[in-house]
Amino acid sequence: MSGKEPGIFKLGLTLAAFAVAACVMLAFVYSATREIAEQNQRKDLEEALGALFPGADQFPRLTDVPQSPDSAVTFEEFYEARQGGELIGAALRVSRGSYGGPIKLLVGVSAGGSIAGARILEHQDTPGLGANAASPSYFVDRARGITFTGQFAGKSVRDPFEVRADVEAITASTITSRAVADAVKAAGRAAALYLGGKR
């Protein structure tokens, strides 16, 4: 028995060393991939802001994020859109619970009180169903080439944003459709209120 104890002890030390090395390697990989993921998210956000306001040349991030008028919608970040120093709109990065988890959008509002557009940044909804909300090849009006999120551009912030009334639903995905419509409505009204106070 006593002859086996040093071997077991040595094996235990070896296993512990491997475990520590694995933990260190995992921490390193996590840190590296997290930085890359954050950079990609920031790049996607900048591209989305530019797509919503193609004429804007500045997107200052504001520290005071407005209160959401809908308790189910969380406002995460708030940006102004400026062209040559002139305020032409505002954008909110928002989150709303959906079928597969939170769906995150960027919603732009023009200074005139209409939705400049909406872009889905992240989602976990079902491929082929709720995921169609973010698909550039899923059309709610194929003849006119209007995608699900494309239908929000130009809508007044005072519209009802009701699915199957003034918002076309994604086929078999009412939950996702409502989540996006609610998020756009809440962001639109809050941003319009901010912009109205800047006139």
Examine residue 108 and state whether it is found in any structural domain, yes or no. Answer: yes
Q: What is the mean pLDDT of residues 151-155?
A: 97
Instruction: State the residue range of the domain holding 126.
Output: 52-197
Q: Is the dihedral of CA 123, 125, 128, 133 positive or negative?
A: negative
pLDDT in tens, 28-85: 766 667 677 677 778 888 899 999 999 999 999 999 999 999 999 999 999 999 999 9
Band of residue 11 on the pLDDT scale cut at 50, 70, 90: confident
- Looking at the structure of the chain, the number of domains it has is 1
Q: Is the Cβ–Cβ distance between 188 and 104 less than 8 Å?
A: no
Higher pLDDT, 96 or 21: 96
Q: Which residues are CB-neighbours of 114 under 8 A, at least 6 positions away? A: 154, 155, 156, 157
Examine residue 121 and state whether it is found in any structural domain, yes or no. Answer: yes
Would you say residue 15 has pLDDT above 80?
no
pTM: 0.81
Examine residue 19 and state whether it is found in any structural domain, yes or no. Answer: no
Q: Which residues are CB-neighbours of 50 under 8 A, at least 6 positions away? A: 56
> Exposed e or buried b for every residue in 84-103, given b needs 16+ CB within 10 A?
eeebbbbbbbbbbebbbeeb
Examine residue 136 and state whether it is found in any structural domain, yes or no. Answer: yes
CA distance 132 to 147: 9
Q: What is the mean pLDDT of residues 104-122?
A: 96
Q: How far from 170 is each of 51, 99, 135, 179, CA to CA, in Å?
A: 23, 13, 11, 11
Examine residue 11 and state whether it is found in any structural domain, yes or no. Answer: no
Q: What is the mean pLDDT of residues 91-95?
A: 97
Examine residue 137 and state whether it is found in any structural domain, yes or no. Answer: yes
Share of the chain above pLDDT 90, in %: 69
Paired tokens of 144: 């006119």
